[in-house]
C-alpha cells in the first residue's frame, strides 16, 4: 500500500501550480521553463502533476488539488528543524538507528543492529547491521523480512538479511527504538538459514 503524501510535504516542493501546467499545455512558456516542466513530468515522473495536466483544458480553470504555488514557496523557505531523540547509553541488538556519515552525499537507509560489539558509540567499535529498505514489494524468503508498521519507524520496511555488513558505531545517528523479541527471533532464524 502506497502512503499518501500530506499536502504540506516537502516532497511537493518541486511541484508545479495549475497555472504553470496550463501555460505548459498551451505552449506559452519560455524554453527553459518548458524544459524544467518536461523533466518534472517525464523524468521525475511526478504523479500529482501528471494527473493535473490531464485534467486541464485551456478554457477551464486548472483544479486547485489542495496545493498553491505560494504554499510550496513557503515550504521551500521554511528551515527543517530536527528534534534529536535522547540516545540510549548502550547499543543493543534489535535497535533500529538512522545513519549519519557526514562525507556521504546520499541519503542512507536506517539500519537494524545485529551485533552491538562493545555497545559503545565510538570509532573503535565495529558493529554488524542490516539495512532497512522501503521497497517492501521485493520480498525474498530467507533473504529479506517484512516488518509491518508496528516497528519503531511506524511504516513497513524490509530487513535486508542478505545485506548484513560491518559498520563503525559512531556513524549511528538516532535510535528509533527496538523491535520485538518475536521479530528478533524470526530475523535470527532467517539469518541462520541464509548463512
Is residue 187 exposed (0-12), middle (13-18) or buried (19+ Cβ within 10 Å)?
buried
Q: pLDDT band at 116, cuts 50/70/90? A: very high
Which residues is 159 bridged to in the sheet?
Answer: 132, 145
3-state secondary structure the chain: CCCCCCCCCHHHCCCCCHHHHHHHHHCCCCHHHHHHHHHHHHCCCCHHHHHHHHHCECCECCCCCCCCHHHHHHHHHCCCCCCCCCCCCCCCCCEEEEECCCCCCCCCCCEEEEECCCCCCCCCCEEEEEEEECCCCCCCCCCEEEECCCCCCCCCEEEEHHHCEEEEHHHEEEEEEECCHHHHHHHHHHHHHHC
Task: Compare 113 and 143 and report the one with higher pLDDT.
Answer: 113
| pLDDT of the residue at 9 | 46
Check pLDDT > 90 for residue 92. yes
Q: Answer for the pair 13, 46: CB distance below 8 angstroms, yes or no.
A: no
| pLDDT of the residue at 10 | 46
Percent of the chain's residues with pLDDT above 70: 76
pLDDT tens digits, one per residue of 57-68: 665 554 555 556
Check pLDDT > 70 for residue 33. yes
* Cell representation of residue 140: 525474498
The CA distance from 72 to 171, in Å, is 33
Task: Compare 90 and 61 and report the one with higher pLDDT.
Answer: 90
Task: Compare 7 and 159 and report the one with higher pLDDT.
Answer: 159
pLDDT tens digits, one per residue of 178-187: 999 998 998 8
pLDDT tens digits, one per residue of 123-168: 899 999 999 988 887 788 878 888 888 888 888 889 999 999 999 9
Q: pLDDT averaged over the chain?
A: 79
Q: pLDDT band at 107, cuts 50/70/90? A: low
Contacts with 70 (C-beta within 8 Å, 6 or more apart), sequence order: none
Q: Answer for the pair 128, 160: CB distance below 8 angstroms, yes or no.
A: no
Bin 68: left if φ > 0, else alpha if -120 < ψ < 50, else beta.
beta
Task: Compare 102 and 177 and report the one with higher pLDDT.
Answer: 177
Check pLDDT > 90 for residue 113. yes
* Whether this model's pTM surpasses 0.85: no
Percent of the chain's residues with pLDDT above 90: 24
Amino acid at each position: 500500500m502506497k502512503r499518501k503524501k500530506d499536502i504540506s510535504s516537502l516532497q511537493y516542493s518541486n511541484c508545479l501550480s495549475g497555472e504553470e501546467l496550463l501555460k505548459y499545455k498551451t505552449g506559452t512558456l519560455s524554453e527553459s521553463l518548458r524544459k524544467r516542466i518536461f523533466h518534472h513530468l517525464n523524468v521525475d515522473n511526478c504523479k500529482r502533476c501528471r494527473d493535473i495536466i490531464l485534467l486541464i483544458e485551456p478554457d477551464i480553470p486548472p483544479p486547485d488539488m489542495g496545493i498553491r504555488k505560494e504554499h510550496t514557496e513557503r515550504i521551500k523557505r521554511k528551515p527543517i528543524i530536527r528534534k534529536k531523540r535522547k540516545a540510549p547509553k548502550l547499543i543493543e541488538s534489535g535497535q533500529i538507528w538512522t545513519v549519519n556519515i557526514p562525507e556521504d552525499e546520499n541519503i542512507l537507509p536506517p539500519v537494524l543492529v545485529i551485533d552491538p560489539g562493545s555497545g559503545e558509540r565510538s570509532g573503535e567499535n565495529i558493529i554488524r547491521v542490516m539495512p532497512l529498505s522501503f521497497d517492501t514489494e521485493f520480498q525474498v524468503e530467507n533473504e529479506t523480512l517484512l516488518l509491518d508498521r508496528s516497528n519503531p519507524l511506524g511504516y513497513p520496511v524490509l530487513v535486508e538479511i542478505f545485506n548484513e555488513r560491518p559498520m563503525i558505531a559512531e556513524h549511528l545517528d538516532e535510535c528509533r527504538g527496538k523491535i520485538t523479541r518475536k521479530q528478533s527471533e524470526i530475523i535470527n532464524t532467517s539469518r541462520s538459514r541464509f548463512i
